[in-house]
Amino acid sequence: MANRLAVVFGGSGFIGRHVVQRLAAQGWRVRVACQDTEAAAFLKPLGDVGQVVPFYANVLKDDSVANVLTGAELVVNCVGILYERGKKSFQAIHVEAAGRIAAAAKAVGASKLVHISALGADANSASLYAQTKAAGEQAVLAAFPTATILRPSVVFGPEDKFFNGFAQLSTYTPVLPVFVKDGFKPVFCGKIPCGIDLYGSGGTKFQPVYVGDVAQAVINAAGSDAAAGKTFTLVGPAVYSFKQILEMSVAAAGRCRLIVPKPFFAAKIVAFFTQFLPKPLLTPDQVKLMEVDNVAPEGAPGLAELGIAPTAAELILPTYLSRFKNPYVHRVPV
């Protein structure tokens, strides 16, 4: 396999770097397609000398994509954005770039294409992110019908922006909000109101998947002829409410924080203002995503069909969120 070339678009990103590491371990020559080759230099030690090479590519340009794919046998597209900025719109990245990569991969004679989409990709979604993820899948399959589509849920791991974001936030504030649709309802004892259910079902449901499992799914899909042309939903072994996600984050970070329920319209107000930040904490489109549970459809092929046992979040979170613990708090051994 030493002379076989794999090209990974977005290889310096969160998921991509784990894919690159596993490809290199299998003996692939790996070309990391990215815009900042110097920033991607940290990937070089993942392989032998010259095995992992960052290579400039602009996914918005046909000739640039075609150039980086010369000689490729396997192509992996990990490129995606969570918010729009300038020319990097959802349409440009999720749809046009995805189709461009697939068409170029077919043109150079690549035998395998693995495209990473997202759980919740839906042409009928209220979210533009989800709409364009679905359109991107169609563009990929139109150009490269035997491509494998992977739809991961929220991905967690040492470099994630999800659990890390909540843990980091817990170091600044004693209160964390959880946005709920069915909270603030009276609780009845018989026919008499005797309390208020503040949290309801705890907010949006998530089924987070470990980044190592997603990367291995790419490897297994690339090595399986049976995976060609199929779509796999990648989720973890458990479903958590938004409230449980926050509780897990602060617990692994060694913090004690008050989790306060907020109605969804409060999320829309927050998103209206934070969307203008250089790296927004929340956008209106993300609020639309949060209004729908992010869990696997019943019976959807997933990690098991790719020969992978999903990793529980509880096993991994303490290994990297512990860096947010207060170093000045003395902990007595139990």
User: Does the pLDDT value for residue 200 go beyond 80?
Assistant: yes
Tokens 């996600």 label which residue? 245
Cβ atoms of residues 234 and 208 within 8 Å: no
**Residue 331: per-residue pLDDT:** 47
At residue 238 the predicted structure's pLDDT band, cuts being 50, 70 and 90, is very high
Give the Cβ contact number of residue 69 at 10 Å: 24
**Residue 142: per-residue pLDDT:** 98
Residue 75: closest CA among 40, 36, 115: 115
- Mean per-residue pLDDT over the chain, rounded: 94
How far is Cα 186 from Cα 183, in angstroms, rounded to an integer? 9
At residue 246 the predicted structure's pLDDT band, cuts being 50, 70 and 90, is very high
When pLDDT is averaged across residues 268-296 and rounded to a whole number, the result is: 94
When pLDDT is averaged across residues 261-278 and rounded to a whole number, the result is: 93
Angle of helix 128-143 relative to helix 98-108, nearest 10 degrees? 10
User: Could you tell me whether strands 74-77 and 112-116 are parallel, antiparallel, or unpaired per DSSP bridges?
Assistant: parallel
Burial of residue 26, with CB atoms counted within 10 A of its CB: 0-12 exposed, 13-18 middle, 19 or more buried: middle
Q: Where are the domains of the chain?
A: 5-152, 163-203+240-292
Dihedrals φ, ψ of 205, to 5°?
A: -95, 140
Three-state DSSP string of 82-95: CCCECCECHHHHHH
The first and second tokens of residue 38, run together, are: 């110097």
Query: Each residue of 11-49: pLDDT tens digit?
Result: 999 999 999 999 999 999 999 999 999 999 999 999 999
User: Does the pLDDT value for residue 311 go beyond 60?
Assistant: yes
**Residue 152: per-residue pLDDT:** 98
Query: Each residue of 40-62: pLDDT tens digit?
Result: 999 999 999 999 999 999 999 99
**Residue 290: per-residue pLDDT:** 94
Query: Each residue of 288-298: pLDDT tens digit?
Result: 999 999 999 99
Q: What percent of the chain has pLDDT above 90? A: 90
Residue 104: closest CA among 59, 65, 78: 65
Residue 231: closest CA among 104, 146, 131, 310: 146
**Residue 2: per-residue pLDDT:** 55
**Residue 193: per-residue pLDDT:** 78
CATH architecture, range 5-152:
3-Layer(aba) Sandwich (3.40)
User: Could you tell me whether strands 5-9 and 74-77 are parallel, antiparallel, or unpaired per DSSP bridges?
Assistant: parallel
* pTM for this prediction: 0.94
When pLDDT is averaged across residues 203-231 and rounded to a whole number, the result is: 97
Cβ atoms of residues 178 and 199 within 8 Å: yes
Dihedrals φ, ψ of 191, to 5°?
A: -105, 5
Encoded amino acid at 17, one letter: R
